[in-house]
Amino acid sequence: MRRGRGKEKGSASVLAVGVASVSLVCVAAAGAVGEASVGRASVATAADAAALAGADTLAGFVVGDACEIAARAARVNDARLESCSVTGSEVRVVVGAMILGVAVTSRARAGPPPG
C-alpha cells in the first residue's frame, strides 16, 4: 500500500529543471566574467604596445609622429588611442575599448627609466 506518493508525482522533474536553470545561469555568468577579464588584459596589452611604439618613434627606430604610430598600434590591437602625450623621450598613452558593452581604459608609459 502506497500512501502519499500521489502528491509528489513529477516533483523530481521540477527540481531537475530548476537545478539545470541555475546551472546555466552560473555558467553564463562565469563566461561573462572570463570574457571581461580577457578583454581587460587585451586593452592593457594594447596600451603597452601603443606606448612602446610611440617610444620607438622617439628613439628613431620608427619614422613618423609618436602619437600617430601609437594610435596605429592601438588599432592593430582592436583598441583606440584616447590620449597621447610626449614629454622629452617619454610617451604616455590612454587606450580604450568596449568590452561587453562597457568602456574599458588602460594607461601605459614607455621611455627611458626614470631617474
Task: Return the domain boundaries, the chain.
Answer: 16-110
Instruction: Tell me the pLDDT tens digit for each residue of 38-90.
Output: 888 999 999 999 999 999 999 999 899 999 999 999 999 999 999 999 999 99
Query: Band of the pLDDT at 8, cuts 50, 70, 90?
Result: low
Is 2's pLDDT higher than 70?
no
Query: Band of the pLDDT at 5, cuts 50, 70, 90?
Result: low
Q: Name residue 104's beta-bridge partners.
A: 97
Q: Virtual CA dihedral for 28, 34, 39, 45, nearest 10 degrees?
A: -170
For domain 16-110, the CATH class is alpha beta
Tell whether the torsion through CA atoms of 43, 46, 50 and 56 is positive or negative.
Answer: positive
pTM of the model: 0.74
Contact 40, 89 (CB under 8 A): no
CA distance 96 to 114: 26
CA distance 15 to 40: 38
- Residue with more model confidence, 3 or 13: 13
